[in-house]
Amino acid sequence: MKKCDFCAKEISYDKMYCCDECEKQTKLFYERSARFAKPFSMINIVCLFGIMGGMFIFPMSKPFGAGLSITCCAVLGIMLLLLPFPTESMIKKFKVQKAVGITRLVGVGMMFLGLMIAGLLMIFLS
């Protein structure tokens, strides 16, 4: 059986969605994705380079390097919570609803990683 492109319920082969609500939600998701693609990509790139830069700077300047990594992890986590845009392969595998949920979980994980870095910094620098 074929699955709905939004919620992954089984449907007949001549349909794409199980109901009008799923079709509406999918179109809304792709419109938002197209509208926020550039800011999402720019924030993502800056934060990833910020995390790597913070890890590179950390041995030379512990507070600045850790602060940079913590800030970038927090910003990336918040962005993934507010703008959960998974990759196309993830959408193809899990469908839109589950892929968005997984992306939000990754955002929570990034925020938790930032808190762990901050906690470890407090332990080791005190």
Mean pLDDT estimate for the chain: 92
Residues 6+ apart with CB under 8 A from 89: none
Residue 23 covered by a domain = no
Residue 44 covered by a domain = yes
Range of the domain at 69: 36-125
Coil vs helix vs strand at 13: coil
Residue 111 covered by a domain = yes
pTM: 0.88
Residue 9 covered by a domain = no
Give pLDDT tens digits for 32-74: 999 999 999 999 999 999 999 998 998 888 889 889 999 999 9
- What is the helix (H) or strand (E) element at residue 24, kind and residue range? helix 20-35
Task: State how many domains the chain has.
Answer: 1
Residue 1 covered by a domain = no
Asked if residues 43 and 30 have their Cβ atoms less than 8 Å apart, the reply is: no
Residue 2 covered by a domain = no
